[in-house]
Amino acid sequence: MILGPTIWVDFLGHEAPVFPYKYFALFSMTAAFAGLWLFSITDRSAGGRAEREAFTVQCVRSQTGLGAQDAARH
C-alpha cells in the first residue's frame, strides 16, 4: 500500500508510484493463496498428517450432518 499511488503519490507527494496499481489485492491475494497451498502440501509434521487424515470425515460431516448425533456435549 505504501508503494502504491494512493499513499506514495497522493499522501507523500512523490511524482510516480513504485508499484503502479491502485488496488493490488489481485496480486497479494494470489501470492497468499499460492503460499498457503505450497506450505500445506509440503507440511510433513505429525499434526499436518493428522489434519489430512481427519479432513474427509470432517468434510462429509459438515456437508451432510452424518455423524453429528455422536457429537460431544459441551
The residue type of 43 is D
pLDDT tens track for 37-64: 999 989 999 998 998 899 998 899 889 9
Give the pLDDT score at 72: 66
Q: For residue 22, what pLDDT band results from cuts at 50, 70 and 90?
A: confident
| CA distances to 4, 26, 27 from 1, in Å | 5, 13, 12
- Is the pLDDT at 32 greater than 80? The verdict is yes
- Dist. CA 48–CA 43, nearest whole Å: 6
Q: What is the pLDDT of residue 55?
A: 92
Q: What residue spans define the domains of the chain?
A: 5-68
What is the C-alpha to C-alpha distance for residues 42 and 52, in angstroms, rounded to an integer? 12
The whole-model pTM stands at 0.54
